[in-house]
Amino acid sequence: MIRRATRDDLPAIVALLADDPLGAAREETGGAVAQAYIQAFEAIESDPNICLMVMDRGGAVIGTLQLSMTPSLSRKGALRATIEAVRIHADARGAGLGTTLIDWAIAEARRRGCALVQLTSDLSRTDAHRFYRRLGFQQSHAGFKKPL
């Protein structure tokens, strides 16, 4: 089942985000959920243009993604959707659950009137790139980030 995340899901979501070499270096999973995660969750939860979703199996969070809708002047004022932080628990990978999550996000973006759905993926995530291409995403841009 795919549902909106609750504050009680935060430890499981953060653990999913930390469960790879990139996430392990930037997330904090020890002990209680850090106040920064709680503040971020509250900001996400209060914004009607952001959906933080989890995939729940028998009460356990086994997947997550964030979908954000952004108004834009480009593309004739089109609303665009951005998919971020897609993760499936290591024990549940390979069963099509990632496809189910992405399909949900695309359907929700369409339902909300988005003209485009986009995502970014770190260059080191070559398996993810194959996955996104298989789902019809095209690698169309070069992305840039600058830590602040």
Q: What is the DSSP string of 51-77?
A: EEEEEEETTEEEEEEEEEEEE-SHHHH
In a domain, 14, yes or no: yes
Q: Residue 12 pLDDT > 70, yes or no?
A: yes
User: Could you tell me if residue 141 is inside a domain?
Assistant: no
Whether 139 is covered by a domain: the verdict is no
Helices (DSSP H) in the chain: which residue ranges?
A: 10-18, 21-26, 35-46, 74-77, 97-111, 126-134
- How far is it, in rounded angstroms, from Cα 79 to Cα 96? 28
142, part of any domain: no
pLDDT tens for 105-141 read 999 999 999 999 999 888 888 989 999 999 999 988 8
Q: How many domains does the chain have?
A: 1
For residue 73, count other CB atoms closer than 10 A to its CB.
Answer: 7
Does 144 map to a domain?
A: no
Residue 9 belongs to some domain of the structure: yes
Residue 101 lies in a domain: yes
| Three-state secondary structure call for residue 119 | strand
Q: What is the CATH number of the domain that holds 113?
A: 3.40.630.30
Per-residue model confidence (pLDDT) at position 145: 81
The pLDDT tens digits for 15-37 are 999 988 778 778 877 666 688 89
Domain assignment of residue 55, given as a range? 2-134
Residue 100 lies in a domain: yes
